[in-house]
Structure 1
Amino acid sequence: MGIHQRSETIDIAKVKELSKLEGDFLARKETRDAELAKIIKGEDDRLLLIIGPCSSDNEEAVLDYANRLAKLQEEVKDKIFMVMRVYTAKPRTNGDGYKGLMHQPDTSKLPDLINGIAAVRHLHYRVITETGLTTADEMLYSANYSLVDDLVSYHAIGARSVEDQEHRFVASGIDAPTGMKNPTSGNLNVMFNAVYAAQNKQNFMYRSAEVDTDGNPLAHVILRGATNEHGENVPNYYYDDLLKAIAKYEKMGLQNPFIVIDTNHDNSGKQFLEQIRIVRQTLINRDWNEKVNQYVRGFMIESYLEDGRQDSPEVYGKSITDPCLGWDKTEKMIREIHTTLSHGHLKH
């Protein structure tokens, strides 16, 4: 019984030297980060897509996907801004299963977190430097934030972490957009309280020291659906759900109101093809109601090279966690979004 230390204490500065952005690469990232901040603040009306694999398990497949996405980003950049999902730590409800690149840099071998951290930084670094895209990751372990804060441009707080005070308080010290998902119960109060906590200054113990934070005005909500007591999916991307979320924003007076729709998870029931329909329906709702258009300005989409999922990494570019939309359908969907934004849906 107990906790047993398996490694030396990590030297954060030394780890960061392994994959450090400099020169033109750093300047490019800073430019894109500034653009992203303007989108969250409503100063840039482009639609935000946080898009990519459910989990980044294979470096070459992820880079293959990233290069395709970067080329498409250039084609649609007047209407769409994309940040690539490079998710490297995966929450497991009961602790079993693949926990991401950070835990297991080689899926055929035992967990190895020290090499996993190096692999995580290396992958983010390669995506940024080889494609010009910037990246998103889930802050599953709040203590690990300082290991990737110089590389990751968008942080997500998951449905199982959003009620945790340390995640909320660390988010208040992040100087990048941070999306707070609704919990698996679907309780909007929990999610909005998390955003409130993240947007305000906090004082707490972190990494064995007392710290103060400045507050993160770029914290915002992600609607990802819910699961009821019967194990049934309860989506929350419908028109009335959006109006309820907007009313919460207005009542609480939060900064930079911004809503992202997670098109997979409990919104789709993990039926990956439903992501296309959810995007279409949301675009119609945006066109129909000016407030929805003003507040709902992003999608989180799970997409990889091949459709669906597999239990073990046998097919190149196919998810080993949640099912993803394959590249051909992803490309078609993004072009459809671009056309819709360029020409509009309805006349009313």
Structure 2
Amino acid sequence: MAFFIENKSVGQRGQAEDWRIRGYNPLTPPDLLQSEIPQTPESRVTVTKGRDEVVAVVNGTDEKNRLLVVVGPCSIHDPEAALAYCDLLLKAKEKHQDELVIVMRSYLEKPRTTVGWKGLVNDPDIDGTFKINKGLRVSRQLFVDLTHRGMPIASEMLDTISPQFLADVLSVGAIGARTTESQLHRELASGLSFPVGFKNGTDGSLGVAIDAIGAVQHPHHFLSVTKPGVVAIVGTVGNEDCFVILRGGTKGTNYDAESIKEAKAALEKKGVRQRLMVDCSHGNSLKNHKNQPKVAATLAEQIAQGEDAIMGVMIESNINEGNQKVPTEGKSGLKYGVSITDACIDWAETETVLDTLADAVKQRRKVQGASGVNGDA
């Protein structure tokens, strides 16, 4: 990778600083990119409606007591395929609009346990050139296109700068298992204009996620950049629309009825509303995408029996099943609609899972109606 400003002191250990820095490239200011790729009126309506619906579900005030479903690719590497997936999901969204609040999982940055492709923002050409300015441009255009079509989107927050380019088109945010305990990410979430989910730790511990929800409700200050790109101290007011995401961990899964019961008790003990999302992938699928429908079926069974704490489900889904490694020839050799990070279920399986979840919500309403429960929490 070439640098606009080469560091002539790289490798010179006698230097007091920067001897491990190869160089610098200028970053497009957020407001410049947002002005060049503005939201359309349709996009604004989608984002606002999506946020309002998600907030209602998270807080237990949705009049229809619907289930939030964040579903889509593990990560997006092909904008064209992402738009095609969106068109499929829009039909399902309309079909299940009375039972499910469907938001497309649209992850552009990937945290890596060691090394690997870091996502569309960081490496859009998937060749290690790290053309981040290009990645931000491609990503923003995709997000505007998705929301213009009428699809609200969710993405993971990995740093305090990229949200300045993209947060205006998001309806849901997520903080991953590796960063839930990070003070910086909690500070960031306290200032975001949409609900944010915190995953349990990689070992399966829920305490760090519950602590995060408590922390982000308060005002914070952290370092970031302004829309013109000037380094600044950001002050927030706090975010009360956050929730925990059960994703399993190294100690086992946590989507069964007993785990949900334990999670509810832990939330109640901390004075946090008993509303949670369950991730059907990652630790809960034992890292086998074929297990996701089984996890969803178990959740659907609990929902159908009247369990109201399960307010959301996350699913890793793509046009085609499985995943693939990037071939030696690069992007040109990739299979269409197949993940290059975690394996996903295909669209046909996704439709079946969504049908199952929607039926469970209908049954929950009947159970709650019979017992006089209105679904609010």
TM-score above 0.5? yes
Distance 1:29 1:337, change over 3 A: same
Pick the aligned partner of 1:262 from 261, 279, 304: 279
Within 5 Å, give how 1:1-348 maps onto structure 2.
1-44=19-62, 45-94=65-114, 96-108=115-127, 110-129=129-148, 131-207=149-225, 208-228=231-251, 234-254=252-272, 256-288=273-305, 290=306, 293-312=307-326, 314-343=334-363
- Larger Rg: 1 or 2? 2
Partner in structure 1 of residue 6 of structure 2: none
Q: Which amino acid aligns with 1:296?
A: I
Q: How far apart are the structure 2 equivalents of 1:210 and 1:106?
A: 33
Contact 1:284-1:345 at 8 Å conserved across structures: no
Q: Which amino acid aligns with 1:216?
A: N
**Displacement of 1:4 after TM fit?**
4.2
**Displacement of 1:220 after TM fit?**
0.7
Q: Specify every segment of 5 or more residues in structure 1 that has no aligned partner in the other structure, as ranges.
A: 229-233
Q: How far apart are the structure 2 equivalents of 1:345 and 1:321?
A: 37
**Displacement of 1:143 after TM fit?**
2.6
**Displacement of 1:111 after TM fit?**
1.9
Contact 2:46-2:152 at 8 Å conserved across structures: no
Contact 2:300-2:356 at 8 Å conserved across structures: no
What RMSD in Å do the two structures reach over aligned CA positions?
A: 2.0
Contact 2:303-2:364 at 8 Å conserved across structures: no
Contact 1:18-1:118 at 8 Å conserved across structures: no
Q: Which amino acid aligns with 2:139?
A: V
Point out the more displaced range, 327-336 or 317-326: 327-336
Where 2:168 maps in the other structure, the secondary structure is: coil
**Displacement of 1:109 after TM fit?**
6.1
Where 1:273 maps in the other structure, the secondary structure is: helix
Q: How far apart are the structure 2 equivalents of 1:216 and 1:266?
A: 27
Distance 1:241 1:67, change over 3 A: same
Between the two proteins, the alignment pairs up a number of residues equal to 337
Contact 2:112-2:118 at 8 Å conserved across structures: yes
Q: TM-score, normalised by structure 1?
A: 0.91
**Displacement of 1:344 after TM fit?**
5.4
Distance 1:206 1:24, change over 3 A: closer
Where 2:135 maps in the other structure, the secondary structure is: helix
Q: How far apart are the structure 2 equivalents of 1:37 and 1:324?
A: 27
Q: TM-score, normalised by structure 2?
A: 0.85
Q: Could you list the per-position Cα deviations for residues 168-191 of structure 1 after superposition, in whole angstroms to 9, with x for gaps in the alignment?
A: 011011120100001102221111
Q: Specify every segment of 5 or more residues in structure 2 that has no aligned partner in the other structure, as ranges.
A: 1-18, 226-230, 327-332, 371-377
Q: Could you list the per-position Cα deviations for residues 196-238 of structure 1 after superposition, in whole angstroms to 9, with x for gaps in the alignment?
A: 111222233444433321111111100111114xxxxx11112
Where 2:98 maps in the other structure, the secondary structure is: coil
